[in-house]
Chain A
Amino acid sequence: MANRRPSAEAVVRVNFQVAVSVNPLLASDLKRFTLGRSRHARLLALAMIGLMSERTKLDSGSSLPNLAEAGKANAQVNANRANARLADRDFAEIGE
């Protein structure tokens, strides 16, 4: 029986190259793997994480403030905030 190739609608074909000078972080991560198949799997995992992260961000409305809900309270919680401090020099530079 002949091999049945997936139809054009069933796959998205991407020929992928990453230049070390343009994307050093991604390139160094992928270079940890020597096999193309492993790099492909790692890239797929990173892309899915990125996609889900982006979706989460959009769903929470962070990038698209919904003005239809104008007036609705918007709470921001951030653990970094409690630790970071403006110093005297910062206040001076801001224009105090």
Chain B
Amino acid sequence: MGTVDLIVRSIDVGFRNTKLVVAADERRIECEVFPSVAPTANGRNLSEALGRNRNTVTVTVEGIEYEVGSDALLAEKPTPTQTMGSDFCLTSEYLALVRGALHRMQVDIIDLLVVGLPVSTFQLRKAELVRRLQGCHPVGAGRVVDVREVKVLAQPHGALIDYALSTGRMDAVRNQRSLIIDCGGRTFDFIVTQAFKVYERRSDDTKRGMYDVLHVLATEIGRALRTEFTDYDKLDLALRTGTQPLIFGRPYDLEPHLKAARKIPEEAVSYLRRYVEDGSDIDDIILSGGSAFFFRGAICAAFPHHVIHELPDALYANVRGFQQFGMQKLTQAWRRSATAPAPTAA
């Protein structure tokens, strides 16, 4: 019996980073990330003049060219101006980020594209986003990618699927109530599920993310040094690696400002507690998202009786879950067609 190769790919466009799957099979999912900034391309590329191309691609959306990719911050103004409203997924910048991700995937046809939305905008924007992403996309360098079908999931649902499948706890998840927390760049999303079904009234997001943590730190540093400090990425890297960032060329001790910065996770968790209280009816708490490392402490303090399951490579947990969902969905659809040749979803 012959086989048919079906291409499934996934993208998780966050307010801070865009995560995507570039290759996948049953045992391996390969992910990439680039910053969620899409400055308009102005043709001026100093790196190129110096003999090195920026690792970006120029994509066109509604007649305007945007530069997207790993080095897009080099083309961005000193203070990146990300769009952060609830209609982010309807903006030209969002579509530019998706097209930049499609470019990275190196395929011409995608049978199923799985993407995510924050909890608060999921029901509101799901249908519009499907319409927007289905069809042909110019992805730069003269290439076009044909996206045949689109599925949209709530972002934390991806983490739950990844947790259930990759830890071998599928049966446990099916029989328990879970709280999935997605600590993102700009939002703190959470869903409560019974098996995979979402309790909508106990699921929400709040605008408390790593961006807000960095903003507090930058403001505090600016006040202390009497300057306008805006290098959020330098602070982000310092927090993740436990090092002191160089400011004016000298190592700067962040410790005096961390108390103020930790207020952000505390506020986010206070908001969450309004929905789940002490979590006495929650069996499992699953932590995902690229900012999980900074929010972990506040979450552990708020739920001292629970074991907090932090997913490995938490930054990619959502997109890994989307990919596994998509691959199994397509395989299931083909299995139902008894006469069709066996598919290979990848």
Contacts and interface: CB of A to CB of B under 8 A. Distances in A.
Interface of A: 57, 61-68, 70-86, 88-91, 93-96
7 closest A-B pairs by CB: A71-B70, A93-B196, A62-B312, A65-B315, A80-B168, A93-B197, A84-B165
B240 A70 contact: no
B167 interface: yes
Nearest to B236: A67
A90 B160 CA distance: 11
Interface in B195-247: 195-198, 233, 236-237, 240-241
A72 B69 CA distance: 12
A78 B30 CA distance: 12
Interface of B: 17, 22, 26-35, 55, 69-70, 153-154, 157, 161, 164-168, 170, 174, 193, 195-198, 233, 236-237, 240-241, 290, 292-293, 310, 312-316, 320, 324-325, 328-329, 332
A85 B332 CA distance: 10
Contacts of B236: 67
B196 A76 contact: no
Nearest to B174: A90
B324 A81 contact: yes
A88 B196 CA distance: 11
15 contacts: A62-B312, A64-B293, A65-B316, A67-B236, A71-B34, A73-B22, A74-B30, A80-B166, A81-B26, A81-B166, A84-B165, A84-B168, A85-B170, A86-B161, A86-B329
B7 to A, nearest CB: 18
Contacts of B26: 81-82
Contacts of A88: 332
A77 B28 contact: yes
Contacts of A93: 193, 195-197
B186 to A, nearest CB: 15
Given A72-B32, A81-B27, A94 B153 contact: yes
Contacts of A84: 164-166, 168, 170
Nearest to A77: B28
A57 B311 CA distance: 11
B329 A91 contact: yes
A94 B196 contact: yes
Nearest to B289: A65
B28 A76 contact: yes
Contacts of B167: 80
A67 B313 CA distance: 12
Contacts of B22: 73
A71 B69 contact: yes
A79 B27 contact: yes
A23 to B, nearest CB: 11
A68 B6 CA distance: 33
Contacts of A74: 30-33, 313, 316
Given A91-B329, A91-B332, A65 B31 contact: no
Given A73-B22, A91-B332, A82 B153 contact: no
Nearest to B24: A76
Given A75-B28, A75-B30, A65 B170 contact: no
